[in-house]
Structure 1
């Protein structure tokens, strides 16, 4: 009977390290997670808890500046260790040669030394890279690498050196090892979840935001990918296999499309314009980085080379590991990083992602099955509602309207889009803000049996008509397209204090077509016929109606009086000190107002 497995994971807090721990624990492997500080341990524990790993992991603080890593022989965390995973190091461009060597070479050598001191002869699994693996330690270890660091950049040169150093040191000290050379690691194959934003993700971000002027290279330029869960399963397997000792494996998806084709596929999935222009890699390398916006150290990755994947594929086949379908995995990853704003999404635990409603790619936050649905105002987005939605007493879904925020499509399809959002459910509570209030009223008037409550915040059709400038669609669009966050904050809220909250809205307004659509919407919303039609429909609605306004952004008293006279199920709440965007300026008050119990017809001030 084999001894129980005990893994020491160095680099445990990184993207791959965390998912490797999830995989190891799922296989019943005890894990010691090597971290740099107690705070790092707490952060890792919280992440693992969110991913249903609540036992089987202990932490040990390591010191990479110490020869023994701060883990001397006899340390309890090292008892019974059967395998050591070295995922530590620095994946960062722009390092000096000294920084890169300390982070990626010296630390790797010390980890081999640690393995040699442990009594159970643990297998060392070292993560190298698909572009740097396969060095010959007999020739590579002793040569001068000054030219490599100058030519390739400190990161890639240090990884090449580390690959040779690990092999040479392990052979000299009698440490069994397996080197894994992964491609660009993307998100979980089933969900796309990822939080690494370097490399390929930067090009995907530029494509999403309309900043990618041209596609790099031709169809032969190969930047392969591998999903993090498949890589974790492969890494968890190799220490158990005698035949994997002292071997190197290239783990990547050979079906990854050429780089321009990959970006084209992602662009079509995003429903954004894909550049027609292609720039040869040779030309990119000759252009200054100020023009290409590419870090010089990334250019060597734009290569037509292929890699020796046969041994890894055969090993995986023999042991039942199947590479996930390539394009769906890439699309899920692309969706996840876009929905999380490429690592810059506002804080909050609510689910974020894209859903297709009536064929329209829609961004939403919260539970898709929630009966409370928030339809935001313009020119802001769903992210401005994160704080309010989290405080509401019922599950809440916030959606960017078609053509706005991060949703695709066109405002002209709101009717069928909203019908698909509702999905035949009854008892809906629609929270419509400004232009979103119009969408809510339109749907409630045509589907009265599905809508139980309307909460309308600053409904434009019940306020005084906007000024003449707002009706000039082109001028409005031009301003919104280029206004920085502080200017937009002053325009919408009278102060630049809310600039940080509006940063995501500003990013969305920069996306092609969004500002133009908003300009047209605002112009159309001011039409007298539109305003009259919406008032009539609201007056005829038989469910509960709660009007919420800011003290500084009141309703038209005449319009309100006429409405209340025709519909006695209407109540009004006023939020003291607030303007047109209370979810930004007074989120707690707005949440309490929406979620609170207010008698019909009662006027409440907060």
Structure 2
């Protein structure tokens, strides 16, 4: 059968595995009907597909597992069904879990039995629950299983038994995949699942994982979601897969403590030295372990029958991607998206001058924002979006970037010589970095915008000159208090939650406090003023009316024929928080100058502060 003759129905199409499967089927040329519970879910799916270069939208199909018809519309030409539906959630009641994961399977098999042209029903089960024997599932066995495993895992085990039994009775041709912990895409790391193993990774990132769970034999296998999707698309075309189950996991996955240590090394954080045996974890109270009891059953030394899956993949030329690389990319994606707390958008980690660096916005955009203190790139997201073709990059040691103040020179060199940064927008402490880069590489930078340049403004308060005190404050202050200190009101607390989270992680607060104290150093301020006076390129100053230049700063600008000034009425030192649209307009107005240079002696129009 050619791909054009295939018609696949994907249930649970808008879910994590489902949408990757729809993409893989579409890329293989298979006609796809995507079943979801609402048109909104379908629209999210089509946007996701388009964002990955697949513009051929699947057919929109509504599904209702409580209805005998299951789906609306013509379905006689369906050749294959993929059941990715179900609830992946801990803490459900038994009734809720059985409705979502067992009753839905009964409905799907009954529906499949009515299709005249069906070649295969592919069921997504699980590596810990696959291989059930339906004859063993007495009422006593069922109750015992739910007590031992919890509602989620037990419902998946029961569903596996029900599926095989009912499909056999009704003569439905079937295959089962038993995936393990499905992590991100092997190329991009993309994943939006933050339960299970991802929660351990989150604790690692924030430095709140007290100990590594398990020992050198504790095995929580993983696999890339795109590999699983491609594996599934091949099953209906191979007669040998009829009535067969496949464990698709990677047997080479490191033992759990080693896996977490691998991620810690990649993050540049310390992995806990202490290891807690699984037997002890299961006895400790939940308030201490902070782990859902249902997740502890996955901490096992068991191994799984993967030979048939490996042989099938080899027969079809499907290679499993390198697991360690996939793990690192997945870990990057989780952190870059703040484990689900970040808004949608382009977010990633890159390497600049050997430093692991976080940036948001358009990759390779010529306009680059270097945030100030004690904020981060996220506080500039609205401005970056409004400017368009721009990005914000956390400085070394700040926000979510690794490194230290000593790395600035090599890092800035890489930024302007290797990434196409031609318009540097430096905010507060970032203005010093932007000026350093522009003066060191004048031929690479076309435009310099300094927002609230501290070295042309008043000195910080005396308390900011005591790093130990500032560090203590930054590590403990809540978003509301920080918003009030930076903007005079608590209304911008939500925009500062990510900055507060960063300040509580690792050495970020210590780096920030040291830099804040350095802003009062008269020699550094004088050096920066001298660099600005000697700089021959275009300079645009943006500042709030409530955060004016000093007399000396104003006098310096008066001597520069290539400088313009924009004053944001009613703003303070952080206009990106309080007046993001105005700041975006001011920055965007300078992009027209990219690639051009002022002729010597030409004086540009300038708006003077009042």
Q: Is TM (by shorter chain) over 0.5?
A: yes
Q: CA deviation at 1:279?
A: 0.8
Deviation at 1:70, TM superposition (A): 4.3
**Matches of residues 147-296 of structure 1 in structure 2 within 5 Å?**
147-296=144-293
What is the DSSP-based 3-state SS (H/G/I as helix, E as strand, rest coil) of the residue aligned with 2:191? coil
Q: What is aligned with 1:385? A: 380
- 2:53 & 2:435 partners in 1: Cα distance? 41
CA contact (8 A) 1:427 1:452 kept: no
Paired residue for 1:539?
533
Which residue of structure 1 lines up, in the alignment, with residue 347 of structure 2?
352
Q: Secondary structure at the match of 2:131?
A: coil
Shift of 1:385: 1.0
SS of aligned partner of 1:451: coil
The whole-number CA distance in structure 1 between the counterparts of 2:77 and 2:608 is: 66
Kindly state the Cα deviation for residue 217 of structure 1 after the two structures are TM-superposed.
0.7
Q: Distance in 2 between matches of 1:27 and 1:449?
A: 47
Would you say the 8 A contact 1:12–1:18 is kept in 2?
Answer: yes
Q: Among residues 436, 446, 453, which one is paired with 1:459 in the alignment?
A: 453
> 2:250 is paired with a residue of what secondary structure?
coil
In 2, the alpha carbon distance for the partners of 1:162 and 1:428 equals: 57
The alpha carbon displacement at 1:559 in A equals: 2.3
Change (3 A) 1:467 1:589: same
**Structure 1, residues 413-457: CA drift from partner, whole Å, max 9, x if none?**
101110011126788211000000011112222222222221000
- Determine helix, strand or coil for the equivalent of 2:121: strand
Paired residue for 2:32?
Answer: 31
Q: Please name the residue that 2:512 is paired with.
A: 518
In the alignment, is the contact (CA less than 8 A) between 1:425 and 1:450 conserved in 2? Answer: no
Partners of 2:126 and 2:178 within 8 A in 1: yes
After TM superposition, give the deviation of residue 584 of structure 1 in Å.
1.1
Counterpart CA distance in 2 for 1:338 and 1:102 is 34
Q: For the residues of structure 2 that align with 1:211 and 1:444, how far apart are their CA atoms?
A: 39
Map of 1:93 onto structure 2: 90
> Which residue number in structure 1 is paired with residue 576 of structure 2?
583
Q: In structure 2, do the counterparts of structure 1 residues 380 and 56 end up closer, same or farther at CA, with 3 Å as the change threshold? A: closer
Residue number in structure 2 paired with 1:48: 49
What SS class does the counterpart of residue 275 from structure 1 fall into?
coil
The alpha-carbon deviation at position 140 of structure 1 amounts to 2.3
Deviation at 1:147, TM superposition (A): 2.1
Residue pairs, 1:5-84, within 5 angstroms: 5-55=6-56, 57-71=58-72, 75-76=73-74, 78-84=75-81
Match of 2:440 in 1: 446
* 1-structure distance, mates of 2:247, 2:471: 50
- Partners of 2:289 and 2:418 lie apart in 1 by 49
Q: Which secondary structure state, in structure 1, belongs to the residue aligned with residue 20 of structure 2?
A: helix
Equivalence for 2:425: 431
What is the alpha-carbon root mean square deviation over aligned residues?
1.7
Q: Say if 2:348 and 2:359, in contact at 8 Å, map to a contact too.
A: yes
Residues of 1 paired with 2:463 and 2:514: CA distance? 12
CA distance in structure 2 between the aligned counterparts of 1:45 and 1:117, rounded to whole angstroms: 29
Write the distance in 2 (CA, Å) between the matches of 1:255 and 1:48.
31
What is residue 399 of structure 1 aligned with on the other side? 393
Aligned residue number for residue 117 of structure 1? 114
Cα drift, residue 472 of structure 1: 0.9
Measure the CA separation in 2 of the matches of 1:520 and 1:243: 65
**Structure 1 residue 61: deviation in Å?**
0.7
Secondary structure at 1:59 match in 2:
strand
TM-score by structure 1 length? 0.96
Q: Secondary structure at the match of 2:443?
A: coil
Please give the alpha-carbon distance, in whole angstroms, between the structure 1 residues aligned to 2:111 and 2:37. 16
Q: Which whole-Å CA distance do the structure 1 matches of 2:480 and 2:157 have between them?
A: 46
| Shift of residue 554, structure 1, vs aligned partner | 1.0
CA offsets 1:303-336 (integer angstroms, 9 cap, x no match): 0000010111111111111110111111111111
> Greater shift after overlay, 133-142 or 405-414?
133-142
What secondary structure sits across from 1:65 in the alignment?
coil
Equivalent residue, structure 2, for 1:375: 370
Q: Residues 130-149 of structure 1 correspond to what in structure 2 (within 5 A)?
A: 130-140=127-137, 143-149=140-146
Q: 2:312: which partner in 1? A: 315
Contact 1:223-1:302 within 8 A present in 2 as well: yes
Counterpart-to-counterpart distance in 2, 1:136 and 1:559: 80
- For 2:319 and 2:173, locate their aligned partners in 1 and report how far apart those are by CA, in whole Å: 26
Contact map agreement 1:181 1:249 (CA 8 A) in 2: yes
C-alpha contact (below 8 Å) 2:538/2:562 kept by paired residues? yes
Partner of residue 604, structure 2? 600
Contact 1:182 1:252 in 2 (8 A): yes
Is this contact kept in 1: 2:215–2:257, CA < 8 A?
yes
Q: What SS does structure 1 have at the residue aligned with 2:99?
A: helix
Measure the CA separation in 2 of the matches of 1:45 and 1:425. 31
8 Å Cα contact 1:426/1:452 also seen in 2 = no
Conserved 8 A contact 1:129-1:182? yes
**Alignment check: 8 A CA contact 2:46 2:57 kept:** no
Displacement of 1:411 in angstroms is 1.3
Change (3 A) 1:103 1:582: same
User: How many angstroms apart in 2 are the aligned matches of 1:157 and 1:100?
Assistant: 9
Alignment size in residue pairs:
598
CA–CA distance in structure 2, aligned partners of residues 526 and 579 of structure 1: 19
* CA distance in 2: counterparts of 1:54 and 1:450, whole angstroms: 37
